[in-house]
Each structure stands twice: as structure tokens, then as C-alpha cells.
């Protein structure tokens, strides 16, 4: 069976991506990154999702001591008022470049032919490393800077959700049986999602537009208090 490395954060998009990869016939190895983020809840959820999907997983611990993001610095707020051209405080400098580089190394080492990442350029917070142009450029760099690329066997970077709305992602995931009750999207690690950070808002909007009640919210036994 063909192998793939899947970047699994414990969130809605990455969990859907894992199930898409399995549906396409890949044996998946999940990489879960512990990079000093504000809470460990998403790490725990990612591990649970990997177990649920019967996938091998590995937690990769890295340090980003220079911070530069509200997801790394508790003194900064996760809430921001974005403008058309602004990038949110939750952007982690070069995060997807770093994660993909680790995934590429893993893929070469284990003989995987693809890397799946749940990047999305439609319903997202405006991160530059979620754009299709970035992944097109990374594919070229990966082909030039790896043994597999030099041998004419470049590892594919697969972004199955890149052009989908959050509602479309959720509808796809429901068909594939993604356990959304096990996912975590909130930037905060409380017992329940805050309902007001960008990630919570996109998640709520997605389920609302998909016409589906969020299984996580149902499991916790409450509803969002929507705030604009």
C-alpha cells in the first residue's frame, strides 16, 4: 500500500485531510507538532484522532523561542481586528514551511510518496502559508532539494481542501465519517471553545452553512453565544 505523511493538528481541517488520505488508499503516518503553542489540548485531540483512524503517529517537539505569534506568546491576545491586507496575530512565522520540511524528511525516510496538509485558502484567517502559490513553490523546492526529487521520484504535496469552503469541508468529512466531536479548533485550551476567536467563528460558520450541528458542541452540551 502506498504511504503518506499527514500533518495532524487535531483541528477540523487536518482531521478531514487524514480521512481523505485514507479514502484515497494511503497508509498514513501522522505527524503531530508540539511547538510551544498556547495549550496541549489540540495535541491530545490529534493523538486521539490518529488512534481512532488506526494510524501510526508521532509527536514532533520543536522550540520556537523567538515567538512572534499570539499562539506562542501568552502575553499577546489571540483576538485581532483584521483589515483587508492584515495578517492576524495568530500567524506563526513560517510555521507551514517548518512543518512541511519535517514532513518531507519523514516522507523520504519511510518511503512515503505524498504529504497531506489541510491548508485552506477560502474560509481562513489570511495566513500567507495557506495560499496555493506557496504550495506550488514548495513543491519545486522539495523536488530540487531532496534525494527522491533528484532521482525523478518527487514527493507530492497534497492539499485536498485548499479551494473548499468550511461548509464544503464539513460536508465531505461527514460523508467520510470524520469524528468531528474529537476535533478542537479554538485557540484557547479551555474546557469549551470560546466562540469568539477567528478559528471558532470559522468553525461555527462552516457548520451553520453546512446545515449540521457541531458534534463537539453537542457533546459538550451547549451552544455558541455568537458574537460579531
Residues 40-91: tens digit of each pLDDT: 999 999 999 999 999 999 999 999 999 999 999 888 888 655 544 578 889 9
Mean pLDDT computed over every residue of the chain = 92
Backbone angles phi, psi at 127, to 5 degrees: -70, 135
In the chain, the number of structural domains is: 1
Confidence of residue 189 (pLDDT cuts 50, 70, 90): confident
219-227: average pLDDT: 61
Residue 222 lies in a domain: no
Segments forming the whole domain that contains residue 29: 3-180
pTM: predicted TM-score of the whole model, two decimal places: 0.93
Residue 83 lies in a domain: yes
Reply yes or no on whether the pLDDT at 225 is more than 50: no
Confidence of residue 223 (pLDDT cuts 50, 70, 90): low
Tens-place pLDDT, residues 90-110: 999 999 999 999 999 999 999
Q: How far is 99 from 142, CA to CA, in rounded Å?
A: 13
Residue 185 lies in a domain: no
Residue 205 lies in a domain: no
Residue 21 lies in a domain: yes
The one-character DSSP state at 72 is T
Residue 160 lies in a domain: yes
CATH number where 46 lies? 3.40.50.620
Q: What is the per-residue pLDDT for 190?
A: 84
Q: What is the per-residue pLDDT for 85?
A: 56
Confidence of residue 219 (pLDDT cuts 50, 70, 90): confident
Q: Which three cell numbers stand for residue 188?
A: 484557547
Residue 213 lies in a domain: no
Reply yes or no on whether the pLDDT at 194 is more than 80: yes
Contact 30/6 with Cβ under 8 angstroms? yes
Residue 161 lies in a domain: yes
Amino acid at each position: 500500500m502506498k504511504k503518506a505523511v499527514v500533518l495532524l493538528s487535531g483541528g477540523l481541517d487536518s482531521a478531514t485531510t487524514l480521512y481523505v488520505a485514507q479514502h484515497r488508499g494511503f497508509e498514513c503516518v501522522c505527524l503531530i507538532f508540539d511547538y510551544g503553542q498556547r495549550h496541549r489540548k489540540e495535541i491530545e485531540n490529534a493523538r486521539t484522532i490518529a488512534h481512532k483512524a488506526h494510524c501510526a503517529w508521532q509527536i514532533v517537539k520543536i522550540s520556537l523561542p523567538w515567538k512572534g505569534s499570539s499562539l506562542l506568546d501568552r502575553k499577546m491576545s489571540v483576538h485581532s481586528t483584521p483589515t483587508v491586507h492584515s495578517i492576524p496575530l495568530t500567524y506563526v512565522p513560517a510555521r507551514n514551511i517548518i512543518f512541511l520540511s519535517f514532513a518531507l524528511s519523514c516522507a523520504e525516510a519511510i518511503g512515503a510518496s505524498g504529504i497531506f496538509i489541510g491548508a485552506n485558502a477560502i474560509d481562513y484567517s489570511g495566513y500567507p502559508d495557506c495560499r496555493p502559490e506557496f504550495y506550488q513553490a514548495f513543491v519545486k523546492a522539495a523536488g530540487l532539494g531532496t534525494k527522491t526529487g533528484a532521482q525523478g521520484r518527487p514527493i507530492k504535496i497534497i492539499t485536498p481542501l485548499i479551494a473548499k469552503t468550511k461548509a464544503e469541508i464539513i460536508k465531505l468529512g461527514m460523508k467520510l465519517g470524520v469524528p468531528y466531536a474529537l476535533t478542537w479548533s479554538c485557540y484557547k485550551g479551555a474546557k469549551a471553545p470560546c466562540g469568539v476567536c477567528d478559528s471558532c467563528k470559522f468553525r461555527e460558520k462552516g457548520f451553520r452553512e453546512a446545515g449540521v450541528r457541531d458534534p463537539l458542541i453537542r457533546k459538550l452540551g451547549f451552544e455558541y453565544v455568537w458574537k460579531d
